[in-house]
Amino acid sequence: MNFADFHRHSIDAPEQFWQEESKLIDWNTPFSQVLDYSRPPFAKWFVNGRTNLCHNAVDRWAASAGQRAALIAISTETNTEKTYSFTELQAEVERCAAVMLALGVGRGDRVLIYMPMIAEAAFAMLACARIGAIHSVVFGGFAANSLASRIDDAKPVLVVAADAGSRNGKAIPYKLLLDEAIELSTAKPAKVLLVDRGLAPMALVAGRDVDYATLRARHMDARVPVTWLESNEASYILYTSGTTGKPKGVQRDVGGYAVALAASMKYNFCGKPGETFFATSDIGWVVGHSYIVYGPLIAGMATIMYEGLPTCPDAGIWWSIVEKYRVARMFSAPTAIRVLRKQPPEFMRKYELSSLQALYLAGEPLDETTSQWIAAELGVPVIDNYWQTETGWPILSIAKGIEDKATRLGSPGVAMYGYKVKLLNESSGAECGANEKGVLVIDGPLPPGCMQTVYGDDARFVDTYWSTFSGMQVYSTFDWGVRDADGYYFILGRTDDVINVAGHRLGTREIEESISSHANVSEVAVVGVEDKLKGQVAVAFAILKHAQQAATPEGRLALERDIMGVVDHQLGAVARPARVYFVAQLPKTRSGKLLRRSIQAVCEGRSPGDLSAIDDPASLQQIKSALDA
């Protein structure tokens, strides 16, 4: 079957299509209905079927191929490597599950995981899945304020954390940040479970904090049976930035997610049991959930969990891992490849990479130069793919497992099976023709594996994603795109105020709120500006209460550093703007709306467009002058 027919079948007969794909996973109880879309836009998949993510990722492989490698934990920060077989992984997950049960965690309870890229983080995620708890992993680069907002939204009964992470040999004290976050939060967790890596001092709070190693030792022989969950029960919450300061909790199901991941591992990533998969992301992001922890294990593959930089101890570290562990499929981000491109090619060429069959890149637009360079160096297909935290698996790509369809430079590919993708005119809502720019949307129902709702807020789910076009119930990705005559899509950027920095989605509103908390800032605008290395970087323009503080170059530099420090403290270094400029006014419409797109255009050397709506055109000249200073 060619891909066009395969995709058409998935759209024209979704229930029949997904009934067949559901056979890729184990079910404890068969489902009675493939799809319930009686309350759009809320879709329920595999209704009344009972399954479990941990069983499908771990137990079924431990039973049939227990000695095969499952989890390979590598840290160049601590110079440690350990391979867990499926049997060993199951034992560790059951120990962790027993610890959680002993701490009072039950089915449907939330467990917040704030961990570095270590094996215990995967144990914790899988243990939650095993006992029916809902995990919410928070990226370790987030600071106390961001962590506190997620604690208050999820209301976890347990937080799992570590003394510290490490980056480039420098310890990042997670426990101190967690203590501050809990102090700031109102929904304080009853217990905190801590992995002590010996990287940073860690004082335990009496009655709340418990040491993981101590409790694990009490449950070495634990046998914790799988809790079979109805397909539509929640598996996890993953927070993503929005256009407001409040993060959105993307809620995922169990059965639909398992089936979608199994299908994507077969058709998109062509993974086979016994092979090794290496995704270079972090478990704090959706790629880490789908293609470090769950997807490869569901496919019976060994998965690599890597803590460290792509350039440390040298720029050959990733390729040495590919050689040593015979990696078949690798998943990374364009930013990382651009970093490696700046290094001497000998770092790649000295390793034997014949095991590698494909490199997949996602998280941000892939430029042609980077794509052509890495494809030539590796001699394997480089496959772009476009998706979101909300969808959990690719929307656009090339599914080589169905048809060896050609890639196209600058395009992530064509619409994937299950996704009814359209481009709509922003003003009229009319469907766009070939090579016409529009907003990329998806007709409901969303396929299995996509978000169920915004956690605790169905209204926000509808208002945010399904209300962009009046009178039309379509899911908006908030991305501009065009489609060529052959059905290949090209992504042009965001329609909203979310920016993409090295694959990390950041809300400009969150950064603005943080900068505004500085004592000398009266108003600020943050925009995403094109960057050759990171894709985009955040740039801030601030109006000061006391302008004399920035009257000299030294004063401006000191104030800029101070403001960046505020962002570091409140949101984490990942949200730090690349630059903070000081201006006397910001460009706005006569009604007071900030013209972020015009600011962005000036920053990127483009025309700011129609200025008829601007209140004072001189304000844009101030932006330009600040950039030129």
What are the pLDDT digits (tens) for 191-244?
Answer: 999 999 999 999 999 999 999 999 999 999 999 999 999 999 999 999 987 655
3-state secondary structure of 251: strand
For 566, counting Cβ atoms within 10 Å of its Cβ (0-12 exposed, 13-18 middle, 19+ buried), the class is middle
The Cα 608–Cα 610 span in angstroms is 7
pLDDT in tens, 465-519: 999 999 999 999 998 889 999 999 998 777 766 777 777 777 777 788 789 889 9
* Segment 65-83 mean pLDDT: 97
The Cα 66–Cα 91 span in angstroms is 11
Residue 66 CB neighbour total at 10 angstroms: 14
Q: What is the 3-state secondary structure (H, E, C) of 539-606?
A: EEEEEECCHHHHCCHHHHHHHHHHHHHHHHHHCCHHHCCCEEEECCCCCEECCCCECHHHHHHHHCCC
Q: Are strands 414-415 and 69-75 parallel, antiparallel or unpaired?
A: unpaired
Amino acid at 520: N
Query: Is the dihedral angle over the CA atoms 197, 285, 380, 342 positive or is it negative?
Result: negative
Residues 544, 521: contact at Cβ < 8 Å? Answer: yes
What are the respective helix, strand and coil percentages of the chain, to the nearest 5? Answer: 35, 25, 40
- Structural domains of the chain, with CATH: 421-494 (2.30.38.10), 502-628 (3.30.300.30)
Q: What is the mean pLDDT of the chain?
A: 93
3-state secondary structure of 424: strand
pLDDT class of 609 with cuts at 50, 70, 90: low
Q: What tokens were used for 221?
A: 């022989």
pLDDT in tens, 575-605: 899 999 999 888 876 555 677 878 888 888 8
Relative orientation angle of helices 144-154 and 174-184, to the nearest 10 degrees: 60
Amino acid at 189: P
The DSSP code for 281 is S
The Cα 317–Cα 348 span in angstroms is 9
Residue 306, beta-bridge partner list: 74
Q: What does the CA dihedral 523, 528, 532, 533 come to, rounded to 10 degrees?
A: 80
Residue carrying the six token digits 């634990």: 222
